Amino acid sequence: MKNAIELQEVHKSFGTTKIIHGVSLDIRDGERHAIIGPNGAGKSTLFNLISGRYEVSAGRILLHGADITNLRPFEINRQGLSRSFQVTNIFHHMTVFENIRCGVLWSAGYRYSFWHRVGGLKDVKLRAEEVMERIGLAKRRNLPAGTLTYAEQRALEIGVTIAGGASVILLDEPTSGMSRTETAQVVELVRSITQGKTLVMVEHDMGVVFGLADRISVLVYGEVLATGAPEEIRANPAVQEAYLGALHKETADA
Amino acid sequence: MKYAPLNLGRWILWSGAALVFLIAPHLFSGGFALTMLTQMGTLILFALSYNMLLGQGGMLSFGHAVYSGLGAYVTVHVLNLMGKGSFYLPVPLLPLVGGLAGLFFGVLFGYVTTKRAGTTFALISLGIGEMVFACVRMFPGFFGGEAGVSTNRVVGQPFLGLTFGPAIQVYYLVAVWCFLGMAAMFALTQTPLGRMANAVRDNPERAEFVGYNTQHVRFLQLVLSSFFAGVSGALSCINFEIVSEENVSAIRSGGVLLATFIGGVPFFFGPVLGAIVFVFFVVALSGFTKAWLLYLGLFFVLMVVYAPGGIASLILMQFPVIRAGRWRELLVPYALAALAGLVVLAGLIGLVEMVYRLSEQGASTVLTVLGVSFDARSAPPWIVLGAVLAAGLAALRAAMRLVGERWGTIQLDLQAKAAP
């Protein structure tokens, strides 16, 4: 099976602080892969390295076999990788429709065009409407994004991410701060939008992780402790020791 | 779903604008009014091009006069070559020359300035402005040194019977280019680049993660903006028949920033209003009083503090109230506020003018207002005008409180009605 993403001995330090120590990880084409780990393990940093937000200190990152190490975010995006953010990162003054459209324009081939009338682009409009339908915000299309509820903004965040039709999707804690019902809706949304695509997600909610992921990687102190199918991870004593055990203990204490 | 194949409001607005351009010189006749109208047209174009950076692209530039000024310099040389008979170009097409020159320098300098956004962009634009200004003295061959380069716009064969000697012909030349420029710049806001310029302004990081190089977006936006700046520079060259260092100066760059801000940065039409008010201050008011720059500065500060959305925002705020039929409730508070404002103005202007009379050597210190003469060297007028100002301010505060209360009630009602 081909790999969508390959990390080869990736290191990242900020000054003298090492955050990621030699992570090697294969994300298979078409799988749903969750990255879990305690706070400060470097999950978000790993996302930022893959998506080009941070520069890699050492090592290589491949996307569909092509080297994307230290490319700029827009270059990586154009090669078919799109990401969402843990803290909602949308265009607050624009309407829902305009937000989605921003995600569509480049991939639809209009790039920096100043000779097309954006309102007249039927393909862009259709694609944006399809995305709005999928994320359940079709009725909100003309509202400014800043006026949406938190859960709606999180859905819009995912909408902007998938709008360009990227084949590899990175979602950073898509359910953070959501109620149980909202979480269930997001899980269904993520399941449907990633059909036939590769998904990598950072997630704290173990219910979501074990329900969605084909494989799970456990990141502890900047290193991959284990990678495997959910049941393997659950049964792995080292993982239980380092992470799940600690989590259970926390829950028991609380 | 809203489906509007023909945006009627927009058609009315644009036809109205064209009509105003057409009949303005007949409404305000006289040489002075025509001078003002011509300058307004030029500045409208310049301010709109500036707002392509500040309003639409989030780029605060302190050196936009570089593009209009260099466009004007190139135009003046082309015009002089035409005067010598080197080649022929119809005068109405000269703004295109200025525009292309502006575009060229936009490519050149924009490559440097747009590498960064925010404060860094502002500082680099300031630096480039100073650099170009310094060049004026360093290369007198091209820039004509302190005196500048003068020209004669009546060259070659009349174009369709137009010589562009009479001021009215120049006005219509400016009006046509201004209208075309307005339409083109508005159209640009409706393109993928225009929309992504807004996206880069609001959230550059997210724009990068949907595939856009923010640097390219800023660069293209600046290059297009400098084209229109160049066109306005060429128009001012044709109008004044002289181009000097003032055309590329920081004063000019600051002026367009002031005009744009006063009009309203968040709205496409804001700079149009700003340019009209600004020219009124600079051209009309400067004929009446030496303190015009002080009044302009005060007005600018007031706008920044109390109406950061400019005149355009103040006007647009009223529309929901008018549509809801609640404007009658505001008539009395508005009238009271206007009245109090006039009292404040009277006191303020009196005091300022007295200060100017005293500070100016050899000027008469006796002022006459409405047939009443008084001497700025005596105490009574200071006491009286000071009291007028104080009373006016107190009244204005009370009136504004009333406006605020009524406004608040109406807004609450409107919100309650809008909520499902």
ipTM of the complex: 0.93
**Would you say residue A106 has pLDDT above 50?**
yes
pLDDT score for A1: 59
pLDDT score for B369: 78
Cβ distance B196 to A119 less than 8 Å, yes or no, reads: no
pLDDT score for B373: 84
A-chain residues near B213 (CB < 8 A)? 72, 74
pLDDT score for A254: 45
Question: CB of B9 within 8 Å of any CB in chain A?
Answer: no
Report, as an integer, the average pLDDT of B73-83.
96
pLDDT score for A111: 96
Query: B198: distance to nearest CA of chain A, Å?
Result: 9
Q: Where along chain B do its domains lie?
A: 8-315, 324-418
Closest in B192, B208, B209 to A113, CB measured: B192
Q: At what angle do helices B167-189 and B192-202 cross, to 10 degrees?
A: 70
Question: CB of B183 within 8 Å of any CB in chain A?
Answer: no
Nearest-Cα residue of chain A relative to residue B208: A74
Kindly indicate the confidence band of residue B117, based on its pLDDT and cuts at 50, 70 and 90.
very high
Question: CB of B7 within 8 Å of any CB in chain A?
Answer: no
Mutate to test the interface with B, among A100, A105, A142 (most CBs of B within 10 A): A105
Task: Read off the tokens for A7.
Answer: 């990390």
Output b/e per residue, B332-344; b: 16+ Cβ within 10 A. ebbebbeebbebb
What CA–CA distance (Å, rounded) separates A252 from B46? 68
Give, in order, the Cα–Cα distances in Å from B69 to each of A103, A191, B48, B144, B233.
Answer: 38, 58, 16, 13, 6
Q: Where along chain A do its domains lie?
A: 1-80+200-254
Question: CB of B5 within 8 Å of any CB in chain A?
Answer: no
What CA–CA distance (Å, rounded) separates A25 from B397? 67
Closest in A72, A89, A114 to B188, CB measured: A114
Percent with pLDDT over 90 in chain A: 90
| Averaged pLDDT of chain A | 93
What single string gives the DSSP state of each residue in B25-66?
HHHS-SHHHHHHHHHHHHHHHHHHHHHHHHHHH----S-THH
The number of angstroms, rounded, from the C-alpha of A193 to the middle of its chain's C-alpha atoms is: 12
pLDDT score for B418: 77
> Are A164 and B211 in contact, with CB atoms under 8 Å apart?
yes
Instruction: Cite the DSSP H helix spans in chain A.
Output: 43-50, 73-78, 96-105, 122-134, 150-163, 180-193, 206-212, 230-235, 237-239, 245-253
> Are B221 and B54 in contact, with CB atoms under 8 Å apart?
no
**Would you say residue B3 has pLDDT above 70?**
no
pLDDT digits (tens, 9 = 90+) for B394-404: 999 999 999 99
pLDDT score for A248: 56
What CA–CA distance (Å, rounded) separates A87 from A154? 9
**Would you say residue B297 has pLDDT above 50?**
yes
pLDDT score for B156: 76
pLDDT digits (tens, 9 = 90+) for B374-397: 888 889 999 999 999 999 999 999
pLDDT score for B8: 78
Rg (alpha carbons) of chain A, rounded to whole number: 19
> Are B197 and B57 in contact, with CB atoms under 8 Å apart?
yes
Q: Which of A39-43, B53-57, B102-106, B231-235 has the lowest mean pLDDT?
A: A39-43
Percent with pLDDT over 70 in chain B: 98
> Shortest CA distance to A162 belongs to which of A79, A84, A237?
A84
**How many Cβ atoms are within 10 Å of B40's Cβ, its own excluded?**
24
pLDDT score for B4: 47
B-chain residues near A103 (CB < 8 A)? 210
Residue whose pair of structure tokens reads 């070659």 in the numeric block: B156
Those residues whose C-beta lies under 8 Å from the C-beta of residue B336, and which sit 6 or more positions away, are: B395, B399, B402
Cβ distance A114 to B209 less than 8 Å, yes or no, reads: no
Task: Decide which of A250 and B39 is more confident.
Answer: B39
Q: At what angle do helices A180-193 and A150-163 cross, to 10 degrees?
A: 10
For chain B, the residue count is 420
Closest in B194, B210, B220 to A106, CB measured: B210
pLDDT score for B31: 83
CB-side neighbour CA atoms (13 Å) of A47: 24
Cβ distance A118 to B203 less than 8 Å, yes or no, reads: no
Report, as an integer, the average pLDDT of A194-220.
95
Closest in B188, B199, B205 to A102, CB measured: B199
Give, in order, the Cα–Cα distances in Å from B382 to each of B295, B372, B385, B391, B394.
Answer: 19, 14, 5, 14, 18
What CA–CA distance (Å, rounded) separates B215 from B197? 10
Task: Read off the tokens for A154.
Answer: 């999180």
What does CATH list as the number for B8-315? 1.10.3470
pLDDT digits (tens, 9 = 90+) for B197-239: 999 999 999 999 999 999 999 999 999 999 999 999 999 999 9
pLDDT score for A56: 97
CATH topology of domain A1-80+200-254: Rossmann fold (3.40.50)
Interface of B with A in 340-369 (CB under 8 A): none
Interface of A with B in 30-69 (CB under 8 A): 51
